Amino acid sequence: MNSLRQLAAAVCAILLAAPCAPRVAGQDPPQKPAAPPPAQQPAPSAKGGQVVIKVPVTEVVIPVTVKDHGGRLVPDLNQGDFRVFEDKVEQRIRYFRAEATPLSVVILLDNDLKQKDSEEVSKSIDAIVAGLSPSDESFVCRFDQFFHPGKGFTTDQDKLLTELKRTRLDTESDAPSPGGPFQNTPQINGQSVTGGPSIAGSTKAIKGQVNKALDDAVFNAAELLRERGSSRDRRRIIFLISDGRNGSKYNTNSYDTTVKQLLSNGITVYSLAVGSVYFDRKFSRLVDYAHATGGEVYFAAKRQTMEELYSRVTEEARHQYLLAYSPAGTDRGAEYHSIEVRVEREGLTVVAREGYYASGVPR
């Protein structure tokens, strides 16, 4: 009996030790499969220590102004009257609109004008409100060596008028005050007691030297407009009122960087060049910003002309045609793409931006 028990225990031990499946000679036991490596994402490129995120462009939106030989807006065109070319390759227009569109406007006022020009602008700026509709929103900003933002965007025309009155020019002297000629409100330690922006004590006039940072002012104004609705919903514009003088050494953003910022965010610059000498070389910056972005530049020296132009600018911006297309047949690896818009009807002038960038500015 003991022998049988010992034999049964031995058999059980052999069965428990046996593998569950037969093993082929020379073959390793099966291993748990390894998890697949995570998908690699393209590394963002870096420029100057800043990350540049490139987003594929699937739609290009172009506001277009069309005028007749007398400079009047042409309101009766349809989609079939337009042709659009990107890098000289014709594109198919997929979206067209001719209705009036609300505006998002940064009113960018030069804070360092000569006395005579300051007086004329000061008398005229309240008229800006007359050219705006209740659906438009505006943000009043000033600039000299520094950028001075106001109280933010508003659709309330009474508040806008109050803000414009707060920024009236100080015409007592040809040289700007410590806050610039637009700042004449009561101050305590450089801070406006009426709620305006603080004034940098280092802002001062140096005889014969331009100490304005116009490029930085336009760049900062564009930053304020970046998130103000889509290009289809609102026209984003900068209304730049200046004599065009620009101290290059005071700017941290170049002209090229600023234009890229404007084009990447669908922002149009309308320039009002103020001064008694028309077509002076100093106006070239105002002309360049307007032409690059599909805007216009106007020249004025007197209050009455300025008041008329304020309404003209907002009217043109609000009644642009809107075209959109999906790029095809061009080099999608290129950073910059030129744009040309034509109309089939003869004798008309077309104003549109000159191109766009495939990626935004460094963030």
Q: Which tens digit of pLDDT belongs to each residue from 269-281?
A: 999 999 865 555 5
- Let me know if residue 156 belongs to a domain: yes
**Rounded mean pLDDT, 35-51:** 48
Both 171 and 258 in one domain: the answer is: yes
On whether residue 186 sits in a domain, the answer given is yes
Tell me the average pLDDT across 247-262: 93
Whether residues 234 and 337 fall in one domain: no
Residues 76 and 198 in one domain: no
Say if residue 116 is in the same domain as residue 234: yes
SS3 state of residue 88: coil
- What pTM was computed for the model? 0.74
What's the pLDDT tens digit per position in 49-96? Answer: 544 444 556 889 999 999 999 999 999 999 999 999 999 999 999 999
Determine, yes or no, domain membership for 8: no
Domain count, the chain: 2
CB atoms within 10 A of CB 61: 15
- What is the secondary structure of 91-155 as a DSSP string? E-EEEEE-S---EEEEEEEES---HHHHHHHHHHGGGGGGG--TT-EEEEEEESSSEEE-S--B-
pLDDT at residue number 198: 39
Q: How would residue 189 be classed by pLDDT, with cut points 50, 70 and 90? A: very low
131, pLDDT greater than 50:
yes
Looking at residue 199, what is its pLDDT?
36
- Among 182-191, 269-278, 279-288, 328-337, which range has the highest average pLDDT? 328-337
Q: What pLDDT is stored for residue 276 in this prediction?
A: 64
- What is the domain-level CATH number for residue 225? 3.40.50.410
Asked if the structure places residue 163 within a domain, the reply is: yes
Q: What is the pLDDT of residue 96?
A: 96
Answer for the pair 280, 242: CB distance below 8 angstroms, yes or no: no
pLDDT surpassing 80 at residue 202: no
Question: Are 87 and 143 in a shared domain?
Answer: no
pLDDT (average), residues 236-251:
92
Same domain, yes or no: 89 and 158: no
Percentage of the chain surpassing pLDDT 90? 52
The reply to whether 350 and 313 lie within a common domain is no
Which two three-digit tokens encode residue 229? 């609705």
* Same domain membership, residue 218 and residue 73: no
Percent of the chain surpassing pLDDT 70: 69
* 271 in Cβ contact with 290 (< 8 Å): yes
Domain that residue 93 falls in = 57-98+323-357
Spatial distance between the Cα atoms of 142 and 166, rounded to a whole number of angstroms = 11
- Whether the pLDDT of residue 8 is over 70: the answer is no
DSSP string covering 14-63: HHHHS-SS---TT-PPP-PPPPPPPPPPPPPEEETTEEE-------EEEE
Q: Is 351 helix (H, G, I), strand (E, B) or coil?
A: strand
